[in-house]
Structures are given as structure tokens and as C-alpha cells.
């Protein structure tokens, strides 16, 4: 749960990060930046700021802003209907992103599991993305990612986004942010 | 037809435009920037510089660089196999882009048809895109676009790109650039 003020503050901070990087948003886009705390109420540690550029029945593109060391928690995009699930490519635009996916665990990974439940982070194959580097995640593949000390901007190119279908490893997580009225 | 030197020069120029805008490419990406003259051998007027970030069986993302007043000529993405055709969203990142699509012709459009055959430009509904503005083109819809006097950077988010299937209004156009050996 976040207060409206917390949402507004995070929106302004994310908009400033993008503006400093020369990425122009319209006023409407700035006002609609999604601030996700994943229901865990520890936004600085586990959270994500999202600009959805387009999300049609076929294609989705987003800009993701991660504050320093902020983590998008572990999840996968399962098959649904005729779709094998969402396929997504993460392209780092600024900062460093540590992406963890299924596969042989990386010895001495750069990140620690954030939050209060390390068991909610089960995949440890590390892919380090610096500006200009990218990685494609196949559908239904567990993944999570954390920004380095400077934060990060990540472009996401994907099939249709259906956030409500995402399966998170932490059973407490709800994808929709609950905003507390003040 | 372009000489290898013309291709290299256009690649370097496009890479510089992107770098100046803070958009980081890897060395491999810089070396593979596609320079399209559409077979018309008048690159400055009718041409496009393209960085393909990803092009899977489902999703494609590209960065397009247009030099000042450079035009991507009129074409459409027809249905093929089970696909209704490529759907694409153009998001202007820098400069101004004048996009022309099917519909009521705009009186006094900002652009003139480039090249030597005005009949190759048949759709004149003008959509002006400035940084942060975007437009989605439905499959099989005729469109063309021209940069303003400062040139432009355009992010393209789309379904799979199958350039070889594109249908151009100018029958002389070939999508693949022929490079002349020196």
C-alpha cells in the first residue's frame, strides 16, 4: 500500500530520471507513470516505475525506471488462451541492471535477495546489462531484476502485457498497487 | 545502389545522432546499422538508417534515424500466413516527424513528395509527431514519413518485421540495399 503522496513523489522522481536521460514524455504520460509496490509496502527496496508507451493486442513497449538497488520481484508470464505467455526483451538504457533468470546459478552474484523473504527469489543465473545491452526472456520463465547503485532505465519490448496474469514467487504479492486515501 | 563508403558514412552519421541523444549502442550494433536507400540511389532524400534491437517471431523493436528531410517512402505491411500484417507504433524521440497515412488528406501538408515521382506518394493524412508523441499504424495501411529540418529519431515498436514482404507504392523500390563494391 502506498499513499497518494508516495505515488506522486515516485512519479516525479521517475519522470526526472527520464528527463535527465533525454527521454521525453508527454504531460499525460508523466501523470500516468505506474508506481508498483507489488503490495509489499517497501517501494524503495521492491518496486518499479513504469511508463507504458503502447499495449495493443499484439505488442507492448514500456520504459522501466528503477531507483538505486530497487528490485522487480521474481515472477513469470504463464501461457494463457492461445498465447504461450508474454515474451519480453529488456534493453538497458542507463545505469546497470542485474537480471536473474532460470539456469545454472551464478557463483557470487552481485545482488542479494531484497525484502524479508529470501525464499521468494529462487533463480540466480545472473545477466548483467549495461547501457546498450539487452536480454530476451522466453515466456513462462522465472526472472527478477535489480538496479545497481545508480538506478537504471530499461526499455521493455514485448508481446501484449497482461500484468494481472503474472505469477509471482512471493505469494503475498499483488500486482496492482493499492493506493491509500489520505 | 550505394558504395561501401556511402554506407559507412551514413552509419557513422546515424550513430553520432543517436550518441548525441544519449542512446547507447554496442560496437556490434553500430557496425550493423542498416542503411536503406530503397534502391533509388538518392539516400539523402529517400532513405532510412535503422538499428534493429530485436526481431523475434513475435516482437520487433528498432531505432530509426532520419537525416534532415529524409523520407521513408510509402508502403504497407500486407497480411501473410496467419498474420494480419505488421502493426507498428512510431514514437518520436528527437526532432519532428511528419507521418502520412490513409484518411482525409490534410490541406496544406508540411511536406512535399520527395524524389522524382510524386505519384509514389498517395496518402496525405498528416500526423505530426514531436518528441514524446507517437502513432500506431494498423496492418496493411499505407504510410510514409519525413523528418523535419533537424532530422529525427523514431522508436518503432512492432510485431515481427518482415521487410521483404513490404509493398511499396513506387514499383522501382527494392527494400534490400544493393552495395556496390569499390
pLDDT at residue number B70: 98
- Which residue from A minimizes the CA distance to B84? A58
Q: Which residues pair with B158 in a beta bridge?
A: B60, B88
pLDDT, tens only, B54-94: 999 999 999 999 999 999 999 999 999 989 999 999 999 99
- Looking at chain B, the whole-number percentage of residues with pLDDT higher than 90 is 93
Which of A27, A54, A129, A135 to mutate: most B Cβ within 10 Å? A54
A22 has pLDDT over 80: yes
Strands (DSSP E) along B83-142, which ranges?
Answer: 88-101, 125-129, 134-137
State the CB neighbour count (10 A cutoff) for residue A178. Answer: 10
CA distances from residue A56 to A41, B134, B136 in whole angstroms, order as listed: 30, 14, 9
Chain B residues in contact with A60 by the CB 8 A cut-off are: 157
Residue B64: its H or E element = strand B60-66
Check: complex ipTM more than 0.85? yes
Contact B89 A53 (CB under 8 A): yes
Q: How many residues does the structure list for chain B?
A: 182
Q: State pTM to two decimals.
A: 0.96
Chain B residues in contact with A89 by the CB 8 A cut-off are: 53-54, 56, 59, 61
pLDDT at residue number A15: 98
Q: What backbone phi and psi angles, to 5 degrees, belong to B169?
A: -70, -40
Distance CA A50, CA B156 (A): 18
> What single DSSP character describes residue A80?
B
pLDDT, tens only, B96-115: 999 999 999 999 999 999 99
Residue A16: its H or E element = helix A4-20
Closest Cβ–Cβ partner in A23, A59, A94 for B157: A59
pLDDT, tens only, A56-96: 999 999 999 999 999 999 999 999 998 999 999 999 999 99
Average pLDDT over chain B reads: 96
Distance CA A75, CA A139 (A): 11
**The residue to which cell 514500456 is assigned:** A62
State the CB neighbour count (10 A cutoff) for residue B24. Answer: 16
Q: Are B126 and B110 in contact (CB under 8 A)?
A: yes
Q: Tell me the Ramachandran region of residue B151: left when phi exceeds 0, alpha when psi lies from -120 to 50, beta otherwise.
A: left
Q: Are B177 and B116 in contact (CB under 8 A)?
A: no
Average pLDDT over chain A reads: 96
Which of B132, B159, B161 to mutate: most A Cβ within 10 Å? B132
- Which residue from A minimizes the CA distance to B95? A24
Q: What backbone phi and psi angles, to 5 degrees, belong to B31?
A: -75, -20
pLDDT at residue number B182: 65
pLDDT, tens only, A100-125: 999 999 999 999 999 999 999 999 99
Q: Are B106 and B126 in contact (CB under 8 A)?
A: yes
Which of A55, A62, A132 to mutate: most B Cβ within 10 Å? A132
A55 has pLDDT over 90: yes
pLDDT at residue number B27: 96
Task: With cut-offs at 50, 70 and 90, classify the pLDDT of residue A175.
Answer: confident
State the CB neighbour count (10 A cutoff) for residue A64. Answer: 24
Task: With cut-offs at 50, 70 and 90, classify the pLDDT of residue B19.
Answer: very high
pLDDT, tens only, B141-153: 999 999 999 999 9
pLDDT at residue number A174: 79
Contact A132 B29 (CB under 8 A): yes
B175 has pLDDT over 80: no
Pairing of strands A179-180, A2-3: parallel
- Which residue from B minimizes the CA distance to A24? B132
Q: How many CB pairs under 8 A join A and B?
A: 72
Residue A66: name the closest of A37, A26, A97 by CA: A97
pLDDT at residue number A176: 79
* Chain B: closest CA distance from residue A61 (Å): 7
Task: With cut-offs at 50, 70 and 90, classify the pLDDT of residue A182.
Answer: low
Chain A residues in contact with B94 by the CB 8 A cut-off are: 22
Amino acid at each position: 500500500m502506498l499513499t497518494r503522496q508516495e505515488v506522486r513523489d515516485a512519479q516525479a522522481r521517475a519522470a526526472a530520471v527520464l528527463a535527465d536521460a533525454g527521454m521525453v514524455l508527454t504531460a499525460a504520460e508523466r501523470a500516468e507513470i505506474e508506481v508498483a509496490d507489488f503490495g509489499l509496502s517497501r517501494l524503495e527496496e521492491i518496486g518499479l516505475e513504469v511508463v507504458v508507451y503502447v499495449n495493443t493486442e499484439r505488442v507492448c513497449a514500456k520504459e522501466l525506471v528503477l531507483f538505486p538497488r530497487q528490485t522487480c520481484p521474481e515472477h513469470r508470464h504463464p501461457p494463457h488462451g492461445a498465447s504461450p505467455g508474454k515474451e519480453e526483451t529488456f534493453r538497458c538504457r542507463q545505469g546497470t541492471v542485474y537480471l536473474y533468470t532460470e539456469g545454472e546459478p551464478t557463483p557470487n552474484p552481485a545482488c542479494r535477495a531484497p525484502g524479508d523473504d529470501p525464499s521468494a527469489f529462487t533463480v540466480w543465473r545472473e545477466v548483467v546489462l549495461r547501457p546498450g545491452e539487452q536480454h530476451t526472456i522466453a515466456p513462462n520463465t522465472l526472472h527478477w531484476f535489480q538496479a545497481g547503485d545508480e538506478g537504471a532505465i530499461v526499455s521493455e519490448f514485448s508481446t501484449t502485457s497482461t500484468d494481472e496474469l503474472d505469477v509471482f514467487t512471493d505469494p503475498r504479492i499483488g500486482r496492482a498497487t493499492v493506493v491509500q486515501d489520505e
